[in-house]
Amino acid sequence: MIMDSEALLTFITIHHANGFSSAAEILGRSQPAISRRIALLEDELGVPVFERAASGVVLSEAGRVLLPHAERVLAALHDARSAIEAMRMGVAGRVALVAVGTLAGSNLTPVLKRFTAEHPRVDLTISTATSAEVSELVRRGEAMIGLRYLLDVTPDLVCEHIASETMVVVCAAEHPFAGKRLTSIAALRDERWFAFRSAYDQRESFADNIFAQFQARGIGAIYWAPIDSLNAMKRLVEAGLGLALLPESAIEEERRVGSLATIMIADLKVANPVYAVVRRGGYLSPATLNLLSLLRTEPNLVDRPELGQA
């Protein structure tokens, strides 16, 4: 049968690499070999799975139908390999964790140290991504566990709320309100704010949080600028060019060296819910289950008070 796992892997790689040349490089094969593999797949299906567009190679209608099924097949094969490896090697093997960048900071270190001490023969890999990408990597079987903000309601994933990350108003150390306590965030409505773009396909809710806080107090508009990088946002705030609502754990280093400060707001209690994500029905090795248990119980992963959520 032509539509084997290699054909599906080639199809998925071309889609994510946005082209045949890039996919050939990733897979370590020649472009003609990649093209032949897809041609055979299309011959068997009787329809094209890709179309040419100005932006590159895009999925055809049939390709969009095939994609989730192909991803599930490859994820199931990955599960089979993982299960056999776990049986053969006992406590050894590979565990892949993917987390939103702001969650992969110093607060995660105690969990990882404890896990590696308990599983010295396990190959633990860690990567970072946006919340949407975290779900996608888990869905494809490229990561066993994901840590993301906000609930993913898609039926092929299991999302478990494990913590809530406190959000704080961040300012430059020289700001007039640095380290002070204000009665209401409404006092900051004339400030310039920095926030991530509120894109539904990859939002982390930071922008929505700050807007919702002002709207709840009857303020319909604020001055703000969209910034796509957390580090860039922190540097702009350090320079005194504006304020930001950020996870408290994301500014630990800057607060330690004194380049950033916070403004305490009496009527502001905001937290981003943090979810652990695994694939529904997917195989989790004993080591993976142990890491998931550590993430559930580690008190320093993120703050865990019951806070209101924007």
Looking at residue 204, its pLDDT comes to 62
289: Cα within 13 Å, side-chain hemisphere: 9
Looking at residue 302, its pLDDT comes to 59
DSSP state of 30: -
What is the distance between the alpha carbons of residues 170 and 191, in angstroms, rounded to a whole number?
12
Residue among 235, 276, 297, 270 at smallest CA distance from 151: 276
What is the distance between the alpha carbons of residues 120 and 116, in angstroms, rounded to a whole number?
5
CA distances from 77 to 45, 73, 111, 146, 283 (A): 21, 6, 29, 19, 10
> Which region holds residue 150: left if phi is over 0, alpha if psi is between -120 and 50, else beta?
left
Query: Tokens 């599983």 belong to which residue?
Result: 119
Query: Torsion angle, CA of 236/151/186/264, rounded to 10 degrees?
Result: -70
Looking at residue 171, its pLDDT comes to 97
DSSP string, 268-286: ---EEEEEEEEETT----H
DSSP state of 206: H
What is the distance between the alpha carbons of residues 136 and 86, in angstroms, rounded to a whole number?
24
Looking at residue 299, its pLDDT comes to 63
Distance of CA 237 to the CA centre of its chain: 24
221: Cα within 13 Å, side-chain hemisphere: 1
CATH 3.60.21.10 is right for the domain spanning 74-163+273-297? no
Looking at residue 202, its pLDDT comes to 46
pLDDT 10s per residue in the chain (310 long)?
456 788 888 888 888 888 888 888 888 888 888 888 888 888 888 888 888 877 778 888 888 888 888 888 888 777 777 766 665 655 557 889 999 887 876 678 889 999 999 888 888 999 998 888 999 899 888 899 999 988 899 998 999 999 888 889 999 999 999 999 999 999 999 999 998 775 444 456 565 678 888 888 888 888 988 888 889 999 999 999 999 998 888 898 899 999 999 999 998 888 888 999 999 988 888 888 999 999 988 766 655 433 333 2
What is the distance between the alpha carbons of residues 34 and 11, in angstroms, rounded to a whole number?
9
Looking at residue 310, its pLDDT comes to 28
Looking at residue 252, its pLDDT comes to 86
Q: Where are the alpha helices (DSSP H) in the chain?
A: 5-17, 20-27, 31-45, 61-89, 109-118, 131-139, 206-215, 230-238, 252-257, 286-297
What is the distance between the alpha carbons of residues 221 and 189, in angstroms, rounded to a whole number?
8
Instruction: Supply φ then ψ for residue 233, to 5 degrees.
Output: -60, -45
Looking at residue 161, its pLDDT comes to 93
What is the distance between the alpha carbons of residues 190 and 198, in angstroms, rounded to a whole number?
21
Taking the domains of the chain in order of start, what are their residue ranges?
Answer: 5-69, 74-163+273-297, 165-272
CA distances from 206 to 34, 166, 231, 263, 283 (A): 41, 11, 14, 17, 33
Structure tokens at 149: 């903000």
Looking at residue 1, its pLDDT comes to 46
Q: Under CATH, which architecture does the 5-69 domain have? A: Orthogonal Bundle (1.10)
Rg (CA), the chain: 23
Looking at residue 200, its pLDDT comes to 43
CATH number of 165-272: 3.40.190.10
- Partner residues linked to 243 by β-bridges: 193
Q: Do 165-272 and 74-163+273-297 have the same topology in CATH?
A: yes
